[in-house]
């Protein structure tokens, strides 16, 4: 069982990004089952403020889904499709993270819960993700040949209760497709991801955007695959392209058996009422 992460410098042009993805699929290793993880905004990034809303409402998102589904069948792989904007209302979209099986069927759908309304000293200044994005309200854990997979996106990684909840729902692998800013990435990226892996005894797989995307948008990169012990098993610091790791499920089982934190914890976590 092998997990691959594709690091990308996506631009606003969907065709160009999808061509890059198809090109990279030619480099995949031969082992199966294989899960390919794509970053947040892989199909369209750094466009106009409402570019994702347009994608969601003009039918282009369906075209992206069809192409991902075809790649799954062509290569006999599972794909975690970072985020694709899907319609929530006429004025907002979900940042939807879809999981496809090797038959190209959608077997998991998660909507990013925590939206990045944050001031960052990176030249962009203010991020207001909630302007066009609706916040999800459902924790999603999906069964797969790789183990139980919990879905999350980028800024979610700062909210440990979500991951505790996933663990309680059986998660063994947690996906965090991302497009971190450079200053917050330098300060927090590895620490946040390693903490989620250690405290939940899960693999953490974070496919990221990297570099300069145009329109003043820069991202931190550093896609990582982290073991349930918190070790970084594979990392792609600054380049576009693939990293891999072969899952060791017996190691995961041993860590959980030797340090049974789920039976030791005094806490359960609940969603806020208004959700």
Ligand X SMILES: O=C(O)CNC(=O)[C@H](CS)NC(=O)CCC(=O)C(=O)O
Whole-number minimum distance, CB 41 to ligand X, in Å? 4
Which residue, among 1, 176, 149, 16, has the nearest Cα to 82 in the 3D structure? 176
Which residue, among 172, 212, 206, 201, has the nearest Cα to 189 in the 3D structure? 206
Q: Which is nearer to ligand X, 80 or 144 (CB)?
A: 80
User: What would the x/- binding string for ligand X be over residues 93 to 132, using CB under 6 A?
Assistant: -----------------------x----------x-x---
Among 42, 100, 180, 203, binds ligand X (CB under 6 A): 180
Question: Are 243 and 4 a contacting pair, CB within 8 Å?
Answer: yes
C-alpha dist (Å) from residue 260 to 60, 165, 263: 46, 16, 6
Dist CA 75 CA 101 (whole Å):
11
Question: Under the criterion CB under 6 A, does residue 223 sit at the interface with ligand X?
Answer: no
Question: Are 207 and 181 a contacting pair, CB within 8 Å?
Answer: no
User: What would the x/- binding string for ligand X be over residues 183 to 212, using CB under 6 A?
Assistant: -x----------------------------
Q: Which is nearer to ligand X, 34 or 55 (CB)?
A: 55
Q: Which is nearer to ligand X, 208 or 252 (CB)?
A: 208
Among 17, 69, 181, 236, binds ligand X (CB under 6 A): 181
Dist CA 246 CA 32 (whole Å):
10
Tokens standing for residue 158: 């700062």
Neighbours of 231 (CB within 10 A): 11
Tokens standing for residue 190: 């590895």
Among 78, 110, 155, 203, binds ligand X (CB under 6 A): 155
Among 109, 148, 158, 256, binds ligand X (CB under 6 A): 158
Which residue, among 136, 15, 143, has the nearest Cα to 83 in the 3D structure? 136
Residue positions annotated with a catalytic role: 40, 112, 154
Q: Where are the alpha helices (DSSP H) in 26-159?
A: 51-57, 60-75
Question: Are 76 and 100 a contacting pair, CB within 8 Å?
Answer: no
Select the span of 136-144, 153-161, 236-244, 259-267 touching ligand X (CB under 6 A): 153-161
Whole-number minimum distance, CB 218 to ligand X, in Å? 11
Select the span of 20-28, 62-70, 96-104, 152-160 touching ligand X (CB under 6 A): 152-160
**Which residues pair with residue 127 across a beta bridge?**
118
Three-class SS state of 139: coil
Residue of minimal Cβ distance to ligand X: 184
Count of residues interacting with ligand X (CB under 6 A)? 14
Whole-number minimum distance, CB 45 to ligand X, in Å? 5
What is the binding site for ligand X (CB under 6 A)?
40-41, 45, 52, 116, 127, 129, 154-155, 158, 179-181, 184
């Amino acid at each position: 069982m092998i997990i691959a992460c594709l690091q990308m410098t996506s631009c606003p042009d969907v065709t160009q990004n999808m061509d890059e993805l198809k090109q990279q699929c030619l480099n995949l290793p031969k082992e199966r089952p294989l899960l390919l993880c794509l970053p947040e905004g892989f199909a369209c990034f750094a466009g106009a403020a409402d570019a994702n809303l347009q994608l969601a409402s003009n039918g282009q998102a369906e075209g992206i889904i069809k192409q991902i589904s075809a790649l799954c069948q062509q290569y006999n792989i599972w794909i975690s499709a970072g985020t694709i904007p899907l319609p929530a209302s006429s004025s907002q979209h979900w940042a939807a993270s879809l999981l496809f099986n090797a038959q190209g069927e959608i077997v998991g759908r998660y909507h990013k819960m925590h939206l990045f309304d944050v001031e960052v000293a990176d030249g962009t200044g203010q991020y207001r993700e909630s302007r066009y994005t609706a916040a999800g309200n459902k924790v999603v854990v999906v069964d797969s040949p790789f183990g139980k997979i919990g879905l999350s996106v980028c800024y979610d990684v700062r909210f440990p209760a979500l991951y505790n909840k996933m663990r309680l729902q059986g998660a063994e692998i947690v996906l965090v497709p991302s497009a971190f800013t450079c200053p917050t990435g330098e300060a927090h990226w590895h620490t946040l991801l390693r903490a989620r892996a250690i405290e939940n005894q899960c693999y953490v797989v974070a496919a990221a955007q990297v570099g300069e995307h145009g329109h003043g948008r820069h991202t931190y990169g550093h896609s990582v695959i982290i073991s349930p012990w918190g070790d970084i098993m594979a990392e792609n610091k600054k380049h576009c392209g693939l990293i891999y790791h072969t899952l060791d499920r017996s190691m995961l089982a041993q860590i959980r058996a030797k340090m049974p934190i789920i039976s030791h914890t005094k806490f359960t976590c609940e969603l806020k009422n208004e959700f």
